A and B are shown apart, each in its own frame.
Chain A
Amino acid sequence: MFGRLRKKHKETPAGVRVDPVFQGARFFLFFLSLVLFFGGLPFILAFALGYKYNVRTMSFVKTGLIYIKTQPEGASVYLNGRLIPEKTPASIEELLPGVYRIALTMEKYYPWKSEVDVEAGKVSRVDKVILFPLKPDLQRLNQEGFDLFRVDAEKGEVYYMDREGRIIYRSDSAGENFEDIASLPEKFGQISGWDISPDRGRLFVYGPHQVSVVSLDSRSNYEYPDSFVNLDYSREKVIRVFWHSDSYHLIAVTNRHVAVVESRALSKPVNLVELDKEPVEVFYDVKRQTLYFSDSAKYADGTPRKNLYKLELSPELYILERLIRKTDE
């Protein structure tokens, strides 16, 4: 065909028409494209849908696949005891439906083994595997003796409390930059709990009948007893204490009241709620400034029943302040 075209082309003055050879090649390409499309598309779609051509049965079989992802990546994958060339993350395709044994191994990590059910045309995902190291990366952080600690994940700091020495230490999360930052007040009895204020400027400690606030501000001299704020709860038993988000007010839950108190000397608590019984559980949502606590109440028929209460503190904060001022007056 091309020979005939070429001959025809020679008879025509050069460059007058599009070279017939090109037109011939174009039609050839066009039909080749058609053949490629209609010939290739069934195979591409079959592959996409998970079909595999079985040479033995001379037919298409619908297969499934397993997708494996580990943390850390790079684990060797054994499928029914046979190592596959891919390392994780890996996908094992064209698997006939059935149950497969999967083993994941990695040097210096505990192996992981399981059985995975493969369904036709579906992906079985094994993508939440964490491989744990044989030798955990264990580090000692403290440089001094301590009884209690708090981790500030946001700032990457660790606070330590040495009850005997009444010292508060701080280090970074790697145990570096270890330093004394405060001392506990003298004659503080049993410590039930403690926490750092949201602005990291203070901490409170509380015992059954006592709450103290200690300044962590490096400019203040924590050796002076005046830097402590001691709140006397000799008549009540302190259950839990929380920082309000302003880092100034404390929310104290005792066996008799839910109270708010300013963290300053001579401040007096304002009792917001009178409790019927000592609350068993207390939770304070700092973000929403809401306190959840349990208390019992008597129903109309006289039967006592435990209830869960929610106390929103944020919108009423200005009322609290007014209340506190009024009480002070």
Chain B
Amino acid sequence: MSKSKERDCRRFFEIVPGFLSWGIIFSLVFLSIVFPVACAIIIISFDFYWIIRTVYLTTLLIMAHHQIFRQKGRNWLELCLRLDARRGWPDLRQLVIFPVCNEGPEVLRPSLEALRASRYPKDKFIVVMAFEERNPYAHENAALLEKEFGSCFGSYLSTFHPDGLPGEGRTKGANATWGAREAKKLLDSRKIGYEHAIVSCFDADTCVDPEYFGCLSYHFLVSDKPHQASYQPMPVYNNNIWQAPSFARLIEISSSFCQMIESMRLEKFVTFSSHSMSFKTLVEVDYWPRNMVSDDSVIYWKGFLHYNGDYRVIPLYITVSMDVAYSSNIFKTIIVQYKQKRRWAWGVENFPFVATRLVKNSNIGLFRKTRRLFHLLESHVTWAVWAVILVLIGPLPIFFGGRFFSQTALAYNLPKITGILFQFTLFTSLTWIFLSWTILPPRPRGIGWFKNIILVLEWFFVPGIILVVGSFPALDAQSRLMLARYMEFNPTLKGNKVL
């Protein structure tokens, strides 16, 4: 395929998700005006589908939650030590990369402290604090943290990613790749085989569970094809959850739940945020993408393509905790959350990335290719349209239907059936409320007991915020991709304190 054809092919796949999402929305609005009966039938069908889907996904959430609690407190290190040495435990190293953009020591220190508190031999750790050279405080912060934590681990590296290297964007992937390459030099100098190193790329605010590396090592060592897998912990946003406003807290808890649900759907499971993988594979796939925003998921697809589809994500039912993104007032928090969700939704760039490569790959079967592409496309299109259909398009047939439609039984039954169907979601909502309660960290001092009540009551705001963080950011991201207005990495403002 010539370069121009390849470019055209890529543009085509960039347009597809946005075109489909807007097409669905406009078609339904058009139908509600010219043929409200058809629109009402589609809406009732969609509502029914959505209820069944919600119940199904909530059941998966319960299963994932059960797995987390079942594996909680397990001594993974002991399990590793019990394994046959031939499996590779003695040689195993943990390369931990924290790509840092603008985060200061107040964000990084808790992450390193959590790492230091891990129940895992510290001499096996190679910690890479990957700073951006363009950050004027990078060297100062690096020195400060090195002084504090430099001697706590087997190796400790501070790297400084130069700005504006050819072929790079200002992305987290570019910085992480720089850090990984520096770590590779270290491994080479110590003659540590890449196959013996597991690399974990963590967001700067990621605080790991003390058992995380034991759990990761164990899964890696007992896996059939350990290098053909990524390892995905369950992200929770517990670092500052008690301090965060309801709005932000709800969104992040929902995000955690979505990730937990995804972990039960292995055939669709893709890496997200903080994750781990074989360093050997990372080198073979030429590291994280250096000009794409969604490096966390693209790295999975790079592995998938490299191994001709024989690559998977193994869920680790152990949590890594991050910060809830929020700001000093509700409006600023909405903007922060919106931008964060838009960045996540920018994961739609995976679709053209994967589709163009799958078209060329003849080693993966057509069915498998189509299935994976469909899953990828369907998840992004659904993300962009579901809240719009439920909240905004739902009432349109009655609004535009006119006198004729208002006299039909369908017009009378539409709100009635929708109401009955959504009463079922009450049960799922109660389940979500209960589960959210169980994953909360202990209430810190200074936070009143009434906060517990607020944590329950705030779930009633969900219908109001699903549009803000449900469909709109995804529609925004897809429209940008469709119009070739590519996004740059926009780091979320994070911190335990109010910004």
A residues in contact (CB < 8 Å) with B: 13-19, 22-23, 25-26, 29-30, 33, 36-37, 40-41, 44-45, 47-50, 63-65, 67, 91, 121-123, 125
CB-CB under 8 A for A22 and B412, given A17-B314, A33-B52: no
Is B263 an interface residue, CB under 8 A from the partner?
A: yes
Bound: A45/B38 CA distance, A: 11
Closest 8 CB pairs of A and B: A50-B409, A48-B413, A123-B412, A33-B56, A22-B63, A33-B52, A15-B71, A37-B52
Partner of A48, one of B70, B79, B414: B414
Is B142 an interface residue, CB under 8 A from the partner?
A: no
Is B357 an interface residue, CB under 8 A from the partner?
A: no
CB-CB under 8 A for A26 and B264, given A15-B71, A64-B409, A67-B412: yes
Selected A-B contacts with CB under 8 Å, 26 pairs? A13-B222, A16-B218, A18-B264, A18-B266, A18-B315, A23-B264, A26-B63, A26-B264, A33-B52, A33-B55, A37-B49, A44-B48, A45-B41, A45-B45, A48-B40, A48-B44, A48-B413, A49-B410, A50-B410, A64-B409, A65-B409, A67-B412, A91-B412, A121-B408, A122-B409, A123-B412
CB-CB under 8 A for A29 and B59, given A15-B70, A17-B314, A37-B49: yes
Max chain A CB contacts within 10 Å: which of B60, B70, B413? B413
Other than the given A16-B218, A47-B413, 10 more pairs (CB < 8 A) read A16-B219, A18-B67, A26-B264, A29-B59, A30-B56, A44-B417, A48-B409, A121-B408, A121-B409, A123-B409
Chain A residues with CB under 8 Å of B66's CB are 22
Is B134 an interface residue, CB under 8 A from the partner?
A: no
CB-CB under 8 A for A19 and B53, given A48-B40, A64-B409, A123-B411: no
Binary per-residue interface labels of chain B (216-232) against chain A in the complex, 1 for a CB within 8 Å, 0 otherwise: 00110011000000000
Interface residues of B, count at CB 8 A = 40
Chain B residues with CB under 8 Å of A18's CB are 67, 263-264, 266, 315
Is B213 an interface residue, CB under 8 A from the partner?
A: no
B314 touches A41 (CB 8 A): no
Closest to B418 in A: A48
Is B375 an interface residue, CB under 8 A from the partner?
A: no
A49 touches B52 (CB 8 A): no
Is B272 an interface residue, CB under 8 A from the partner?
A: no
A13 touches B412 (CB 8 A): no
* Distance from B230 Cβ to chain A, minimum over Cβ atoms (Å): 14
* Distance from A45 Cβ to chain B, minimum over Cβ atoms (Å): 6
Binary per-residue interface labels of chain B (122-133) against chain A in the complex, 1 for a CB within 8 Å, 0 otherwise: 000000000000
* Distance from A69 Cβ to chain B, minimum over Cβ atoms (Å): 12
Bound: A26/B74 CA distance, A: 25
* Distance from B220 Cβ to chain A, minimum over Cβ atoms (Å): 10
Max chain B CB contacts within 10 Å: which of A19, A41, A44? A44
B408 touches A41 (CB 8 A): no
Bound: A48/B48 CA distance, A: 12
Partner of A23, one of B71, B79, B266: B266
Chain B residues with CB under 8 Å of A30's CB are 56
Chain A residues with CB under 8 Å of B264's CB are 18, 22-23, 26
A123 touches B63 (CB 8 A): no
Is B317 an interface residue, CB under 8 A from the partner?
A: yes
A36 touches B411 (CB 8 A): no
Chain A residues with CB under 8 Å of B329's CB are none
Chain A residues with CB under 8 Å of B60's CB are 26, 29
A41 touches B410 (CB 8 A): no
Bound: A17/B411 CA distance, A: 49
A41 touches B48 (CB 8 A): yes
Bound: A30/B57 CA distance, A: 9
Chain B residues with CB under 8 Å of A15's CB are 70-71, 74, 317
Bound: A49/B40 CA distance, A: 10
Is B407 an interface residue, CB under 8 A from the partner?
A: yes
Within 8 A of A (CB), among B413-446: 413-414, 417
* Distance from B22 Cβ to chain A, minimum over Cβ atoms (Å): 26
Partner of B67, one of A13, A19, A40, A125: A19
Chain A residues with CB under 8 Å of B414's CB are 48
Chain B residues with CB under 8 Å of A44's CB are 44, 48, 417
Bound: A14/B71 CA distance, A: 9
Chain A residues with CB under 8 Å of B408's CB are 50, 121-123
Chain A residues with CB under 8 Å of B63's CB are 22, 25-26
Chain A residues with CB under 8 Å of B265's CB are 26
Chain A residues with CB under 8 Å of B79's CB are 13
A33 touches B53 (CB 8 A): yes
* Distance from B115 Cβ to chain A, minimum over Cβ atoms (Å): 22
Chain B residues with CB under 8 Å of A36's CB are 52
Closest to B41 in A: A45
CB-CB under 8 A for A48 and B222, given A18-B266, A33-B52, A121-B410: no
Chain A residues with CB under 8 Å of B406's CB are 123
Chain A residues with CB under 8 Å of B74's CB are 14-15
A122 touches B40 (CB 8 A): no
Closest to A48 in B: B413
Closest to A22 in B: B63
* Distance from A147 Cβ to chain B, minimum over Cβ atoms (Å): 49
* Distance from B102 Cβ to chain A, minimum over Cβ atoms (Å): 37
Partner of B48, one of A14, A25, A37, A121: A37
Chain A residues with CB under 8 Å of B218's CB are 13, 16
Chain A residues with CB under 8 Å of B41's CB are 45, 48-49
